[in-house]
Structures are given as structure tokens and as C-alpha cells.
């Protein structure tokens, strides 16, 4: 299972990459494996402000729709429009081309408080 060291994680199986005050968010390798066959991603509206744990995006497999939560409070900067053409990027490249949205965070300390790779590894066992 691929769990990059440089990312932060949530118990909802999202990863967060912080660069300055911009956090890029996607779902983990473990999550994409559980979902399999991502066929549609509903992206959040740009400029929308959100609190931590707000559902902002939806990742859908053939069988089910799963909410994706905003891991930290902030404002949505952009969504990954490449996923509109090829939602399976979430499966094939969960940590890179398959990122889902970027959020300008209110407080970078919120990101640092999230799980690190070791803690996430413990969570999924």
C-alpha cells in the first residue's frame, strides 16, 4: 500500500499536500482500491468557503457514490478538471494526476494537526 511520507491524512482516507497556504486534496491509494472503478467525480465550486468535514466533492464508482470532505477550513481554489474527462485517474494515480481539489487554508496549523503517514498506516492496519 502506497502511503507517501510527505502527506497528511484524514480518517476519511483523504490525503493533503500543503504548499504555502494551499492544500491539495485527494483520496488515498487504500481508498481508491476500496472504491475501484471511479466513473465520475463531482468537483467543488471554486470560491466556496468550507469548514472542516464539510462534504464538498463526490467520487462515484459503478456501485456507489462517496462524499469527499474538506479536511480543513478554508476556501476552494480549484478542482481537477482533468477528472471530468478521465475519472479513472483517481484509481491510476491517486496521489498525483488524480488529485481532486485545492483549498486555501485558513490556518496551516490545522493541516499539521492531521495524521502523518505512520498514523494513517496504523489506521488502515
Contact residues toward another protein (CB under 8 A) are 36-37, 39-40, 42, 58, 60-63, 65, 84
Place of cell 502527506: 7
Q: Closest CB to another protein among 43 and 114?
A: 43
User: Are 60 and 43 spatial neighbours (Cβ–Cβ below 8 Å)?
Assistant: no
| Minimum CB distance to another protein smaller for 1 or for 62 | 62
* Least distance from another protein to the Cβ atom of residue 64, Å: 9
- CB of 87: closest distance to another protein in angstroms? 10
Which residues, 6 or more positions from 8, have their beta carbon under 8 angstroms from its beta carbon? Answer: 15, 16, 17, 18, 71, 111, 112, 114, 115, 116
Nearer to another protein, 23 or 83 (CB): 83
* Widest distance between CA atoms in the chain: 37
CA 45/CA 50 separation, integer angstroms: 11
CA distance 44 to 75: 10
Q: Whole-number minimum distance, CB 48 to another protein, in Å?
A: 14
Distance, CA of 72 to CA of 5 (rounded, Å): 19
Give the nearer residue to another protein in terms of CB position, either 63 or 122: 63
**Cβ 88 to another protein shortest distance, Å:** 9
Amino acid at each position: 500500500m502506497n502511503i507517501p511520507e510527505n502527506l497528511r491524512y484524514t480518517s476519511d482516507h483523504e490525503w493533503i499536500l500543503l504548499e504555502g497556504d494551499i492544500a491539495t486534496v485527494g483520496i488515498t491509494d487504500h481508498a481508491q482500491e476500496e472504491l475501484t472503478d471511479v466513473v465520475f467525480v463531482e468537483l467543488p465550486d471554486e470560491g466556496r468557503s468550507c469548514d472542516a468535514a464539510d462534504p464538498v466533492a463526490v467520487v462515484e464508482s459503478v456501485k456507489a457514490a462517496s462524499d469527499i470532505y474538506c479536511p480543513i477550513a478554508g476556501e476552494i481554489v480549484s478542482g481537477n478538471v482533468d477528472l471530468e474527462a478521465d475519472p479513472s485517474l483517481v484509481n491510476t494515480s491517486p496521489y498525483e494526476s488524480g488529485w481532486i481539489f485545492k483549498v486555501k487554508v485558513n490556518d496551516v496549523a490545522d493541516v499539521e494537526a492531521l495524521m502523518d503517514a505512520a498514523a494513517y498506516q496504523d489506521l488502515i492496519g
